[in-house]
Structure 1
């Protein structure tokens, strides 16, 4: 906070406190010329009148005590601009202390799982229950509460894994994240006709209905541009995250328009790394739950 803003806040605080004290003093006593307490000329229903009596002293005393408390509070805690207070308290320091305490409790709770293999944890119902809760907090926003994914977010409950479905592969995805990139190929293909032919061939790889002549022409384009990642047979490459194009699963859709969008604009899939957020033990537990979804291991109780 700049010194100008600091002084601005200080002046406002002082004026508010001084104004409260002045208001209490001004309203707490009678002045010459004031009507009698029982004589205000404000009558209702013939026998109800508004009195003009000062506030009781005990009530005024409570207000003064409140002002004194406010002054003490502003001396001890920050509140007067850049003044840190005699306690040097900060919300950031309190947050860090609370977080450190919570981290210690979490570390103790998950310590038994820190060194166990993912496949072993996938057979532990208690570990799976913890993993499911972690997944709900950190992963469900993209993959859904049931891990079935959505358009652009992989289904984790089937047996199709773009980056490999072995326990260590799943753990690596959770810990280090994944970055997939499908480059735009419109310029390389050169024409709308060649794009349509490539779309037809790609759809034919998974048995979708296509024009056979277009698919045959698209095979040459695929061989020249796509086999480096997807392989000569279109079966993909888990080391690069390149999906198998011969199965029935399509991350962004199998209709011609969706595939055209992929070819023309490319795709960029980003799975963020969770190692720093979860730590190795919790990452291992959630990886076990994800692994269990497609490998039929124990279910959480």
Structure 2
């Protein structure tokens, strides 16, 4: 037997009625007839008693007879089985697992802290009970291993100065990374009959020893990008100003004065602080 076998045992209420009749009937008969032979029937009731099982919704019982797998009871209800069966309870409910924060290296070798939130449940009770030693511990260990592998496959973020231009990063590609993580964990847990319902990164940050340096790096990258946009806009505005002045013939500028105007406009448009105007009350040359 290598696969899960679903069985439906005998009705527990009927066997409970039989148990009560045998147990109390033998006692009443022994008292009424003053015959101790009826007491000998009580052990039969005692043997019957361990066979009662109750299966709650989204619960199961794996049954074994002297080490041989008999079947799994998944339908909720009150049942009676062979008293010599070993009855192992396995929950079929969805469970949450919030892993510890692991220190791993991303694709670029940067140390990061990462954790995952996993939603899982048992799908195959035979594999969960017999193919692994402890399926709950198996989930924890394999999830940590999958997270370590995933972190090494992608960079934390893109950095232009390193020539890194990855389409998928741990920080920005949440859906893609979660899909890859879910697939990786599902492949690892399938051996234990575990179904992965959802896998998401719960925590992601640079390790403490490089966190400050990486924060400054991100800020510098953002400043450079902002400056780039400002310069592009300033050049466009200067071109438009010169074009309009020439078109409307407001003033005739030679190349030297045009260069001076361009320089002044670029300083005004690209500067961090407001410009302080200087009034010229003389001619253009002085």
Structure index of larger Rg? 2
Higher helix share: 1
TM-score, normalised relative to structure 1: 0.23
Higher strand share: 2
TM-score, normalised relative to structure 2: 0.24
Q: Which has the higher contact order (CA 8 A, sep 6+)?
A: 1
